[in-house]
Homo-oligomer: A and B are copies of this chain.
């Protein structure tokens, strides 16, 4: 009994894999070789172009998945949260994305090969994985829509609302908001803006009485109003099978 075999089932309870698996599936998941690892802040866990063959389940801490551009800029694709899984292109081929820790980060890791091979023995696990992949896709699609067709102000609000809901689903939010160690530069790289403009947008949201983002935590002041203003509908964050 390693540390991992203790902690892993516990994380599953609030994870993306919590729905649709019976005990034997979960036992099976536990046998796929997930081990718990720790990365320090700013550690690059996998770099764009690597031949990557691990899959990850977040245990705690913040990280980001990003593409790196030629001129040194980056586009952040997502901030995966506790219980969510990361497998940029683990299902074969080189990783077109980087995975970087932002705070101290604890993740469960397993070799992708073992994981994929394991799917053949557990149809319900395969189904749950497809559901999780579909949810990731929906998140990416909303992000893309944000960048393409929404104003900077709404875009910023939308991202913070989304993170709020995802953290709630992972039981990692507070009643009024959530802890968020992201800098305004991080937000800018996710939102396709400059950090200066993000600062303006946060001020605007504060002045309009929607939310405060100070000292590393987001505090919703008028969440319902904000959701309406940002045309935010959390439906896309629901897991298949979740009510």
Interface residues of A (CB under 8 A from B): 67, 69-70, 73-75, 77, 89, 91-94, 96-97, 116, 119-120, 123, 126-127, 130-131, 133-134, 136-138, 140-145, 147-150, 191-192, 231, 235-236, 238, 240-241
How far is A137 from B91 in the complex, measured between Cα atoms in Å?
12
Q: Are B75 and A145 touching (Cβ within 8 A)? A: yes
Decide yes or no: A149 and B73 within 8 Å by CB, A140-B137, A144-B140 being known contacts: yes
CB contacts (< 8 Å) of A236 on chain B: these are 96
Among residues of B, the one whose C-beta sits closest to the C-beta of A136 is B137
For residue A74, give the distance in angstroms from its CB to the closest CB of chain B.
8
CB pairs A–B below 8 angstroms (24 shown): A67-B142, A69-B145, A73-B149, A77-B141, A77-B144, A77-B145, A91-B130, A91-B133, A91-B240, A92-B130, A93-B131, A93-B134, A96-B141, A96-B236, A119-B123, A120-B123, A136-B137, A137-B137, A140-B144, A143-B144, A147-B147, A147-B192, A148-B192, A149-B192
For residue A72, give the distance in angstroms from its CB to the closest CB of chain B.
11
CB contacts (< 8 Å) of A116 on chain B: these are 127, 130
For residue A111, give the distance in angstroms from its CB to the closest CB of chain B.
15
How far is A92 from B130 in the complex, measured between Cα atoms in Å?
9
CB contacts (< 8 Å) of A137 on chain B: these are 89, 136-137, 140
Q: Are B75 and A144 touching (Cβ within 8 A)? A: yes
Decide yes or no: A67 and B141 within 8 Å by CB, A96-B235, A147-B147 being known contacts: yes
How far is A131 from B138 in the complex, measured between Cα atoms in Å?
18
Using A73-B149, A97-B141, A144-B147 as known contacts, list a sample of 11 further A-B pairs with CB atoms less than 8 Å apart, ordered by residue number in A.
A77-B145, A91-B130, A91-B131, A91-B133, A91-B134, A92-B131, A92-B240, A93-B134, A126-B126, A133-B133, A147-B148
